[in-house]
Amino acid sequence: MTPPETTTQPPAIRRISPRPLGLHLMSAAMSLTGAAAALPLARRGLIRWHPALAAEAEALTAEIAESDETDLTLAVMEQVQERLSATLRGIELYQGHGYARRVTEPPAAWEQGPARLLDFGGGGRPVLFAPSLVNRAHVLDLDEGASLMRWLAGRGRVRPMLMDWGAPAGPVRGYGTADYVTGPLADALAHVAEMAGGPAPLVGYCMGGTLSAAAAQLYPDRVSALGLLAAPWDFHASLSPQAKVYAGSVGFWRPVLEAFGEMPVDLLQSFFAALDPNLAQRKFEAFSRLDMDSPEARRFVALEDWLNDGVPLTARVAEETLNGWFGQNRAATGHWLIDGVVIDPARIAAPAFVAIPEKDRIVPPASAAALAALLPGATTLRLPAGHIGMVVGRHAETTLWRPLERWLAAVE
């Protein structure tokens, strides 16, 4: 029996996000007040600037040297106070915004433990979409006006099936990456292949793309084509110093895994914050200037709600990804094994489509490009977008959705 369609309900309480709120507030305060603290060093030319900023730094240093010290200090402090106030105002406006996600959820065509396969219909050939394990699956179905799944279904050439991993529960709490690939992903692929009457396309987003590459190698009889959207592979490519320190701090986060049996959402979010410590300050300051009734404000709140509604990682997945992938770069160095098999994308015979967002701070372009380089004859698309904007941004339909749909419709 097909389960009845359900509609998501609005939040019952006021938002306390962004998570972890304390970390974001501290980072904003330290970043902005640090500008005032650095002023005396800048006046004496003692700041080491990035080589790419050499010309701007030289001009700024000369301007600072010529200015009145007291006047400049007061002006900088005024700017610090103004921007910090704008950031706090942006957070408060977000927390009290009236937006709530209300979409009709499609029926589940398949279920296994907490995992479900959401069937968006559309009448075309079934395509399985696998998102990351870190956040909720509905980034690909964010809202009525920002849903890759609903757009594809409406076009009628493919039938998108979205894997919703769910939160780890029961036996799944003991899963590692291999268990996800050989368990729910493999079984969902079998179900979709049966629906399609043969191998079907598999499209993975972010970490879901890395897992999908493994599945395409291990189950070639179930995967006819492989799509990868901002999928990381070389985890040491362009990795920020902060992220390297975090990934290498095994002694810091391993006791948490042992105590909780999982990686809590707030600790996981702190890792992503380390990739760009000033991001929260910048985006909430900008949000404070928007018209709260505008589509831009609505999209911002929808994305923030999704970002802050994360799910924990199992202890084994957290250990494998933070220590194995980010720390030791096992995937790119040929040391990621599933059931004794080395995961090597060069062995994937299925046609591949690789989308690489050039402004991605979560999966640096070089990390995703390393995977594309290993796939024989892959179609590579580089987009002027960020990691999330590529799938839900204002220009997503033009830059990603349409090229992806054309490729899916063309592959056998």
What pLDDT is stored for residue 13 in this prediction? 44
Same structural domain, 137 and 37 = no
Tally of domains in the chain: 2
Is residue 188 included in any domain, yes or no? Answer: yes
**Mean pLDDT in the chain?**
91
Average confidence (pLDDT) over 381-401: 96
Say whether both 108 and 79 belong to one domain. no
* Residues composing the chain: 412
**Residues 198 and 112 placed together within one structural domain of the fold:** yes
Mean pLDDT across 195-210: 97
Band (pLDDT 50/70/90 cuts) for residue 228 is very high
pLDDT tens readout for residues 62-107: 888 888 888 888 888 899 999 999 999 999 999 999 999 989 999 9
Chain mean position to CA 373: 22
Final residue before a domain boundary, out of 86, 113, 130:
86
pLDDT of res. 14: 64
Percent of the chain with pLDDT over 90: 68
**pLDDT value at residue 31:** 85
| pLDDT(408) > 70 | yes
239 vs 38: which has the higher pLDDT: 38
Residue 397: CATH number of its domain: 3.40.50.1820
User: What would the mean pLDDT of 368-376 be, rounded to a whole number?
Assistant: 96
Q: What are the backbone dihedrals phi and psi of residue 39, each rounded to the nearest 5 degrees, phi first?
A: -60, -45
C-alpha dist (Å) from residue 22 to 28, 86, 260: 10, 17, 21
Asked if residue 171 and residue 52 are part of one domain, the reply reads: no
Task: Report the pLDDT averaged over residues 104-119.
Answer: 96
Question: Residue 162's domain spans which residues?
Answer: 104-235+340-410
> 277: how many CB neighbours lie within 10 A of its CB?
17
**Confidence check: pLDDT of 387 > 50:** yes
pLDDT confidence tier of residue 159, bands split at 50, 70 and 90: very high
Residue 129 CB coordination number (10 Å) = 26
Q: How confident is the model at residue 4 (pLDDT cuts 50, 70, 90)?
A: very low
Has residue 13 been placed in a domain? no
Domain stops at, among 39, 57, 86: 86
Structural domain contains residue 200: yes
Higher-pLDDT residue of 412 and 223 is: 223
Least confident of 180-184, 243-247, 343-347, 357-361: 243-247
pLDDT at 241: 72
The predicted structure's pLDDT at residue 3: 45
pLDDT of residue 49: 83
Q: Name which residue leads in pLDDT, 251 or 369.
A: 369
Q: Are residues 230 and 162 in the same domain?
A: yes
Q: Residue 214's pLDDT band (boundaries 50, 70, 90)?
A: very high
User: Residue 286: inside a domain, yes or no?
Assistant: no
pLDDT interval class at 150 (50, 70, 90)? very high
111 plus 214 within the same structural domain:
yes
pLDDT band, very low/low/confident/very high, at 1 (cuts 50, 70, 90): very low
Q: How confident is the model at residue 189 (pLDDT cuts 50, 70, 90)?
A: very high
| Residue 68, in any domain of the structure | yes
7-66: per-residue pLDDT in tens?
554 444 468 789 888 888 898 888 888 888 888 888 888 888 888 888 888 888 888 888
Q: How confident is the model at residue 2 (pLDDT cuts 50, 70, 90)?
A: very low
Confidence (pLDDT) at 11: 45
| Same domain, residue pair 182 and 80 | no
Task: Write down the pLDDT at residue 69.
Answer: 84
In a domain, 194, yes or no: yes
